[in-house]
Every structure is written in C-alpha cells, then in structure tokens.
Structure 1
Amino acid sequence: MILGDGLYNFIKVLGHTFIGLHGNLRNKDSGAILPTDRHTISENPPSLSYDDQRRTSIFLKDRIPTWVAITGYVAIAIVSTITLPHIFHPLKWYYIVVIYIIAPVLAFCNAYGCGLTDWSLASTYGKLAIFTIGAWAGASHGGVLAGLAACGVMMNIVSTASDLTQDFKTGYMTLASPRSMFVSQVIGTAMGCVVSPCVFWLFYKAFTDIGETGSQYPAPYALVYRNMAILGVEGFSALPKHCLTLCYVFFAGSMVVNGIRDAVGKKWARFIPLPMAMAIPFYIGGYFTIDMCVGSLILFVWRKMNKAEADAFGPAVASGLICGDGIWTLPSSLLALARVNPPICMKFLSRATNTRVDSFLGS
C-alpha cells in the first residue's frame, strides 16, 4: 500500500509536470504573449493571505538551483560507487548505480508519505533493497552482506528526502532561507559522519558482548535485518504462504483507491481514505492511529468553533503535542529501567488466544 500510493502520486505529479511544460511550449511557439480582446487571461485562483504570500515569495526567491541538486546527487553517486565496494566487497559497483537510479522515485514516495503522516518510512524502502540486491547477488556471492549494505545506502538516500522536506517546511513557516536550511542540513550530516562512528566505536569497545542475546545491548534489529537478508537470498519460496499474493492485491488496491479519488472529484474524495494513511497503522501499530484520530478530532471541533484561530494556531498546537509525546520517551525509559509497570495494560488478542485466557482466568 505504501509503495503503490507513492508510485501513483509520483506518476501523477510527473504527468502534470510534462503536461504543463508542453502547454508552456505551445503557448511560447504560438507567440501569444499579451492578452487580446479575444484571448483573455483566465481568472486567478483565490488570493492567499498576506502571511502566505510573504512566505511563498521569500521561499521561492532564495531557492536552490536545479543544477546544484543534480550535480550534487551525481557527485555523491560517483563517490559512493567508487568507495563502497572497497568497504563492502560483495556490494558491486553496478548494484550501487542501480540503487542511485531507482532511489529518486522512492525518495519522492517517502517525502510524500512523510508529508501526509509525519512518519518517515525509509526502513520500508531499505527492505526493498535488501530483498532485491540480496537476491541479485545470491548466497554464493555474499548476498547477505550485499543486501544489508544496499539497505544502508537506500535508507540514507530516502530518509534525506523526507528530512529535507521537513526542514524546508520549517523554513517556509519561519520565513527562513531555503539555502540556509540546506546548508544546516549539510553541516549536520557532516557532523554525523564524525560523531556516529565515534559513538559506535565507544559502544563497541566498552561493551564486548554488544549484539549478543541476553546482553545489556542485544541490538534486536540487527538480528531482524540479518534474517531478512537471509530470506532475500533464499528467494520467495521461503516467504509465508500467500505473502506475495497479499502484496500484489494491496499494491493494486492502493492504485485503484487513488484512481477513484481522482475520478470522483474533490467534493467526494475527502470521504475516501488515503492508502498511505491506512498503511501506517499496519506498519507501526495502532497507537499512532489513536494519536492522529484524537488530534484530527480536536482540529475538527476547533475549526467548527473558530476556523481562523484554528488555521493560525493549529500547527503550533500540533507541534507542542508531538514534542510532548517525544519528550515523554525519556521519563518512560527511566520508569522502564526502574522496572515500574503501568497500572493498566491493554492488549488485542486473537479469538483462540482470548479463549485460552478466559478459560485460565475462569479456573
């Protein structure tokens, strides 16, 4: 569902772009520059507020040239293609070239999904790299290591797209220069290239049993991703029954739902759910759905009471709620370390498990 929704919107945006360019070229060739009595300019869309007009003008005035983005992407791709095979020998240079060719499409999908849900799904697209590159390399040519390394490359490219989107949105809302936001991102990435290896080296030297089951830092995700890489090398035959069938059905279903949304128009499309938003709870759990539902309900009621105030202060309230939810992770971790259990625990069980629990409680 995530991939289908993202690809549909990528093709849709690309189609609108080509149609717009074609229309501009036709108007330029026809020589129709100034309006005449018979050819009048179409009515402008409803004007934006003064704040939005100023934000838009500042954001577009200092934007990054397209040639800088393309040149930088190609330069990074060349550096990665040369250096990574020397670090991870099973990861051949042509694997990296294929990743950098496919990555822009998946980066758009991730930025689109992050814009809808404020949740980066870079790990989802990284898993696609694990399965494809691992199966391509094969078990006899280090497919497990090649798949894991390809996952790291893909996740870095795709996650950067969503991070930049959020940074540019912040710059748009705060009247900051897009170039300053981009430079800040570059500085932070450069710092991460130094800080991250140092932190890893510190953990690696301080805890000799890191990554082992039962240790203080078991690194459970390492085992999960390694097993996924092994699964990708072994082929689709190792997947659970009907797994691929479900993938195909929901991929096609997300395409159909988006097509219906575009066909019925804006009036009725607002009653049809977004496939990306439906897919998120399946991916990360139901707690995220509850947060979004409560927040949407608050915003809906607020707009009914005072629409202007809700539009003006809604983002600030949402930012405060998100920040508070994130900061609560720290005291929650401290309570977990102190082995303090919550007074109430809710779980959703299958019918068979629930029957066994009821029979146990009844006895």
Structure 2
Amino acid sequence: MVQLAPINTCYFDKDQLPKLVQDQQDQQQQHAGDAWQHITPGASTAEGPGGVPAGGGNAGFEDDNASSCAGIVPPGSQQPLPPFSGQFTLRAVLVGLAVGFAFVLLNMRLALATGLAANLQVVTTGACWALLRCYTSLLGRDMPCIRPLSAPEVSVAASTALAVSSSAAAAGFGSVLLALQDPIAQRVGSSIPDNLPSLVWQLGYWRLVGYMAMVGLSGALLVLPFRKLLFARPSMTFATGAAAGQLVNTLHTPAMSYHGHKQMARFAQWSSISFVFSGYQWVFNNPACNGFARFPTFGLQALRYTWNFDFSLPFVGLGILAPISVTWSMLLGGLLSWGLLWPLLSRMEGQWFAARLGPWDIRGAYGYYLTVAMALLLSDAAYHMVKGVVGVASAWMVEALRIMDTDTLSDASSLQFSMAAMERALRQHIFMSDGMRGWVGVLGFTVLAAAAAFALPALAAAGRLQVYHVLIAGVLAAVAGLANARGAGVTDLNMADAYAKVGMLVFAAWAGQGAGSAGAALACGGLLLGVSSTAVNAMYAWRAGFMTMASPIAVFIAHMIGLGASCLLTPAAWLLFDHSDSLLANDGFFASPMASVFRQTAVLASAGASALPAHALWVAFSALIVGLALNALRDTLPMRLRGVVPIPAALGVVFMSGASIAVDLAVGAAARIFWRLRYPRSADAYALVVGCALIAGEGLWGLGKGLLAAFGIQAPICMTFTVPPQL
C-alpha cells in the first residue's frame, strides 16, 4: 500500500509494484518513475523469471550491459547513466594508471620499510575523481566536445588504479619475493641451522614481469563466475569497496535532491570525524608503543587475550553495515577462541608446544592459531565451491535475487525514502543484468595456472619445485582465493598472507628436506598470495562499481587492464628502490621484517608436519569438520533461523586476528540498534552512509599515515599498557 510522505519520501510494500502517487518535485519524480518502470520485472525482454537475465545468471558478453543502463536516470540526477562507451573511456584508464603507479610507489616503500601494505582504495578513488574533475573542468569550458564526468566513469578509473596500487603487496614485495633474497637468507641463517643461503632469486626486471603475469592476473578471473553469489549473501558487505563507492556518490552528485544533500552532509560529517580521530590515535602510536590498539577497556587481564575496544572506527563502521549474524558470529568466535580455547592452550606451553618462542613462530601457539583459522576459512570456501560446481548454481542464483532484497546495504523492507529505494533497485538491476559468462573466468584461470605450472619452476630456479607442485598449488589457490574473498566480504580483512603461509607449510613438507624445498615452498606460497589477494581486490572494485551504478563489464575490463599494466609498472617501481644502500639491511630503513618471517616459516616447514606443534593438525582437522557442518546446517535451516548458526568464515578470521575486532563490530551493531530504536527512519536511510563514512575517513588518513611511515616520521607520544604476568 502506498502512502504520501513529505520531502521525496514514500512508504511501499515490497511485495507489490511500487508506484509514485504524487510528484512533489515534478522533474525529479518523473525521472525516478521512468527509472522504476525500466527495472520492473517483465518490462524488459532481457530478463527472465526472478529478475535473472535471460540465458542464466551469467549471460554472454554479447548482452551488453550498457544497453540496459541507457535511459536510466539515477535519483537526484537530471542526466541518465552513460552507456558503456561513456563509462569505459581512454581518459579514465589513463588516469587510473597514473594514480595507480603513484600509489604503488608508496605501497612499495611502505612494504619494504614495515613489511605491510595499506588498503588505499578510498584514497585512490578520491585521487581519480580529483584528476578527472580537473580535466573536465579545465577543458570542458572551451571544448564542448569534452564529455561531462560521471560517477560510473570515476569507478572505472578507480578500478584500474586499485589493480595497480595493490600489486606490490599481491606480488609479495615485502614478504615472499624478498624472502628469496640473499640478505634475508643471511639474516635468518644465524638462527636456523637448516637455512640454505643458496636459495635466492635474482629479481631482474623481466623475471619479475613474468612472475607477476603468472600470479597477478588469475585472482580476478577466479571470482568472475562467483561474483553474483558473493554479492547476494547478506553478510558479504565488502565494506571498503562500499565506502569508496559512497565517496564517489557524495563527491559527484549533480542536482542533488533533499535526500542527496542530507546524505552528503552525513558522509562529510562522519568521515571528517573518522579522519581526525585516526590522526589523533596516531599521535600516541609511537613504534615502541601500542597506543589505543592495546587500550585496556576491560582490564589488563582481559587485554592479555585481546579483549579490548581499540577505538578502530573502520570496524565500528563495518558493524553498522554488517548483518547481525556477522557480528554474532564474530563475538561467538571471540568467546570460543580468545575466551576459552587459547587461554586453555596457553597453560599447555612446554607440553603441546615449545616455550618462549616468538609471536610469529609456527612451532609455538601461533601454529595452532594459523591452522585452525585456515581450516575454518577453507571449509567455508570449499563447501560453497562444491555447492556451485555440482549444479545448484542456477537455483542458488534465484535464491540470491531474493536474498538481495534483505541485504543490509539495500534493505527495501525498511528503507522508507523513495530515493534510497530507487537506488537499491537500480543497483540490483544493473549488476544482475551484466553480460559476462562464468566460463570466461574459468578458462582464463585454467590457462594461466597451466602456464605457471611449466614456467614457474624454471623461473624460480628451485631444484625441488616440480610441475605437479604448481598444478596442485593452482587448485589450492582457487580455493584460497574464494575463501579469502568470502572472508573479506564479511570482515573487510585481507588474509592473503595467512593463506600463503599455509601453502608454504604444505609444499615445503611435500618437497621434503634438502636443497630447494624452502624455495619451492616460497614459490607456491607466492602463487597463493597473488591469487587470493587479487581476488579480494576484484570484489572491492565491483562493490564500488555497484554503489555508483557502473557497468560491471566496464569495471572488470578496467581492472584487468590495471592488472596487466601492473606487470610492467610494479617491477619498474621495484628498480627505483633496488639500489638503495639500506635495502634489506638489518638496521636499515628498508629492513622488510616480514620477509624474515616468511623465510623462517618456509625453512621450518621443510621438516614436514613435525614443524607444527604436536596436536595442531588434529585440532585443525576437527575445525575443518565443524566448519563444513556449520555450513550444511545453515543451508538446512529456514531463513529466519540461519542467523543463529555462526558463519565459519567469520569464526576463522577472529580465531587468528583477535577478539578486539569482534568488540568493534559489536559496538557498531549496538549503535545501529540504538539509532533504529530512537530514530527508525533516519537510521534506515543513513546507516549505510555513516558506516561507509567511518571507513572512508580512516582510509583517507591511511594516505597520511603511509607517507609519514615511508619517510620515517614517528609519532611524538608513546602510550603503552603493560600486561601483568600470567596468573
């Protein structure tokens, strides 16, 4: 039933065809009405039953998505969405490549200095918008032929920039690749007798180009057949991608309605708060201290097992965005692991694992954390991969369309603003009616995996790395890539490094002890790292395009162009640092500490299962069975009861990352519940905006933080809390 509401709002029953009864703003409402009629099931012959494009969930490339976008006028705009040729433009690709190369230099410097790499998607998106805006503003006044800038075009440029800027971490600069360098071998050799300094690679330019072509292009092709299934699940928020898309919508919204102005104001307000507070936290986070990350919210004894609120606003924003089932799963995982299992495990130090080992040593408690978490994540990915392969993908797709109606990011049953409801429906229509076939991704991934199987052993020059090793690594990389994509969709965390370490454990043990086993493990681990990392980045790019109503085909092609260009640009960026005197020196600025961790893991794993703690494999196998059982139970129960069963991917992340993430999500979920109780209409309309703003603000500060770290500027104040001895 339709009722009148003030200021461009209306109530509607989602089970009936919504109709706009009265034009309160004639032009705006007329455009919105036309757009709604355009996406009504049955209004277009390109759709089949349930809203799925004719020909199945993955229509062919010949069904150009641009034709389905033509004529759609987004709410708050007076111009229709541009066609494919207006989104995928030469200027967008060139701007994306330029921005991506600028930020890959920053990520490379950060990876070499700290071993870590920041997710700068929000920043690169803003930079792409700024450059394109300057270009159209300067030339558009004197050259009428210059096409006006649109939000989908910005998403296409940002997709290219994301592919290039994230390639340094995906290729293993700062981790796997540097672990094969002679300075790292000498550094680790003093503490591990089995380390062989001869296991080194010479990272020449063309060798790096070939290596990146093998490991850097497969991830995006891998998730191509699963993209709609991943987006359809309510728990798959991909919060960083959503924040980047919301940033574009806020910056680029011509002729905004009242609702659009309110959205922009809320986004600017909360992103500014997040940016300022992130900078304030950095002031107290000197490298010798922990800052707010170890603030004893619940006391020092609870802090020992990561039970604290660390004031991480991005995860608070994720808690606002994510369904309650995700928060519940994270909290339950924190209670089971950091509240029960790991405290009990710590009492077995010296019996179940060696005492007084480093925090990243796989022979210690970290071996349990890593194997159990990976077992849960891999069980989740393997279950859903088998479920799709055995022939239920089409039925799952029909269910996915229905599930999307209850997505937290697009909840039509609760969003009461007609503009927000219109945006939800338009996004669904554009994304679900793309023209990409799943077999294209399967074929491309298979070809690249086969090429890697024959080329990587010769390229790595590792005596024990065989063709069948790389073939099996390609199969495991497919499972790891899907698992990482699902985990990142739920928690917004990229666990690619953890999957690489698990792969190294498997292949080092398989290759056996002796010369070349650690090199074989690092090569296969690099393959898992590249595939699982690029798979997540592709999903982030699609989520940003989903938010801006960009053509999924345009976003995908731009992302693949960026990945191809990164094979040439990232090795060039490495050459700029290769001649530094402090590169990989123990006391130098570019010490790359994580490379030592990876090499130590590979050398220790060459001893086989004995490298792990005594009962780690049995505990991990039990976790694998539990994860499969939980997935089966979630599919068996009715929809309203599934939220009670925890999500294995969420459990796996919190088992290894700590309970503080679950606390952050719980704070965000509690804030949204309180907001909805007090101001239900405001909460339902602006929860997405506020959650994305908290993530985007911290992402913008990530640029400043990365620049400060890259140039060696440290925080001026040290704040730390000392945990008392264990009782």
TM-score of the two chains, using structure 1 as the length reference? 0.79
Query: Is the aligned partner of 1:112 residue 2:506?
Result: no
- Give the match's secondary structure for 1:328: helix
Q: Does the CA-based 8 Å contact 2:385-2:479 persist in structure 1?
A: no
1:147 counterpart letter in structure 2: A
- Deviation digits for residues 237-264 of structure 1 (CA, Å, limit 9, x no counterpart): 1323333333233333334444554555
Q: Provide the residue aligned with 1:325 in structure 2.
A: 698
Q: Provide the residue aligned with 1:178 in structure 2.
A: 552
Q: Provide the residue aligned with 2:716 in structure 1.
A: 340
Q: Provide the residue aligned with 1:97 in structure 2.
A: 471
Query: How far is the alpha carbon of 1:150 from its aligned partner?
Result: 0.8
Structure 2 alignment gaps of length 5 or more: 1-372, 406-411, 413-420
Q: Does the CA-based 8 Å contact 1:211-1:222 persist in structure 2?
A: no
RMSD, matched Cα: 3.1
Distance 1:72 1:82 in 2: 16
- Deviation digits for residues 39-74 of structure 1 (CA, Å, limit 9, x no counterpart): xxxxx9697654333222211322312232122212
Query: Is the aligned partner of 1:58 residue 2:430?
Result: yes
**Mapping of residues 32-181 of structure 1, within 5 Å:** 49-90=421-462, 91-181=465-555
Distance 1:171 1:248 in 2: 39
- Mean CA deviation greater in 103-112 or 288-297: 288-297
> Structure 1 residues 15 and 238, CA, compared in 2 at 3 Å: closer, same or farther?
closer
Q: Does the CA-based 8 Å contact 1:302-1:310 persist in structure 2?
A: yes
Q: Provide the residue aligned with 1:27 in structure 2.
A: none
Distance 2:530 2:402 in 1: 38
Query: How far is the alpha carbon of 1:328 from its aligned partner?
Result: 3.4
Distance 2:428 2:374 in 1: 30
> Structure 1 residues 16 and 73, CA, compared in 2 at 3 Å: closer, same or farther?
closer
- Give the match's secondary structure for 1:62: coil
- Deviation digits for residues 277-310 of structure 1 (CA, Å, limit 9, x no counterpart): 2332343344433432322222222233344543
Give the total of aligned pairs: 331
Query: How far is the alpha carbon of 1:105 from its aligned partner?
Result: 2.2
Q: Does the CA-based 8 Å contact 1:212-1:218 persist in structure 2?
A: yes
Distance 2:610 2:389 in 1: 41
Query: How far is the alpha carbon of 1:80 from its aligned partner?
Result: 2.0
Q: Does the CA-based 8 Å contact 1:210-1:218 persist in structure 2?
A: yes
**Mapping of residues 300-315 of structure 1, within 5 Å:** 300-315=673-688
Distance 2:671 2:564 in 1: 40
**Mapping of residues 224-235 of structure 1, within 5 Å:** 224-235=597-608
Query: How far is the alpha carbon of 1:231 from its aligned partner?
Result: 1.7
- Mean CA deviation greater in 6-15 or 218-227: 6-15
1:223 counterpart letter in structure 2: S
Identity, % of aligned pairs? 26
Distance 2:593 2:435 in 1: 42
Query: How far is the alpha carbon of 1:154 from its aligned partner?
Result: 1.1
Q: Does the CA-based 8 Å contact 1:134-1:147 persist in structure 2?
A: yes
Q: Does the CA-based 8 Å contact 1:131-1:147 persist in structure 2?
A: yes
- Give the match's secondary structure for 1:236: helix
Q: Does the CA-based 8 Å contact 1:167-1:181 persist in structure 2?
A: yes
Q: Does the CA-based 8 Å contact 1:5-1:258 persist in structure 2?
A: no
- Mean CA deviation greater in 172-181 or 71-80: 71-80
Query: How far is the alpha carbon of 1:143 from its aligned partner?
Result: 0.9
- Give the match's secondary structure for 1:250: helix
Higher relative helix content: 1
Distance 1:161 1:22 in 2: 22
Query: How far is the alpha carbon of 1:200 from its aligned partner?
Result: 2.0
Query: How far is the alpha carbon of 1:14 from its aligned partner?
Result: 3.9
Query: How far is the alpha carbon of 1:228 from its aligned partner?
Result: 0.8
Query: Is the aligned partner of 1:316 residue 2:316?
Result: no
Distance 1:247 1:232 in 2: 16
Q: Provide the residue aligned with 1:39 in structure 2.
A: none
1:297 counterpart letter in structure 2: A
Query: Is the aligned partner of 1:4 residue 2:376?
Result: yes
- Give the match's secondary structure for 1:139: coil
> Structure 1 residues 6 and 118, CA, compared in 2 at 3 Å: closer, same or farther?
same
Query: Is the aligned partner of 1:289 residue 2:662?
Result: yes
Relative contact order (C-alpha < 8 Å, sep 6+): which is higher?
Answer: 2
1:345 counterpart letter in structure 2: T
Distance 1:312 1:13 in 2: 35
Distance 1:218 1:110 in 2: 28
1:313 counterpart letter in structure 2: Y
Distance 1:63 1:301 in 2: 42
Q: Does the CA-based 8 Å contact 1:204-1:210 persist in structure 2?
A: yes
Distance 2:487 2:402 in 1: 27
> Structure 1 residues 193 and 52, CA, compared in 2 at 3 Å: closer, same or farther?
same
Query: Is the aligned partner of 1:252 residue 2:628?
Result: no
Query: How far is the alpha carbon of 1:350 from its aligned partner?
Result: 4.9
Distance 1:213 1:6 in 2: 36
Distance 1:67 1:19 in 2: 14
Distance 1:53 1:319 in 2: 19
TM-score of the two chains, using structure 2 as the length reference? 0.42
- Give the match's secondary structure for 2:587: coil
Distance 1:192 1:23 in 2: 37
Query: How far is the alpha carbon of 1:139 from its aligned partner?
Result: 2.9
Query: How far is the alpha carbon of 1:97 from its aligned partner?
Result: 1.5
Match of 2:726 among 344, 351, 354: 351
Q: Does the CA-based 8 Å contact 2:488-2:494 persist in structure 1?
A: yes
Q: Does the CA-based 8 Å contact 1:6-1:112 persist in structure 2?
A: no
Distance 1:181 1:53 in 2: 19
Query: How far is the alpha carbon of 1:180 from its aligned partner?
Result: 1.0
Distance 2:551 2:453 in 1: 32
Q: Does the CA-based 8 Å contact 1:143-1:233 persist in structure 2?
A: yes
Structure 1 alignment gaps of length 5 or more: 25-43, 353-363
Query: How far is the alpha carbon of 1:178 from its aligned partner?
Result: 0.8
2:650 counterpart letter in structure 1: A
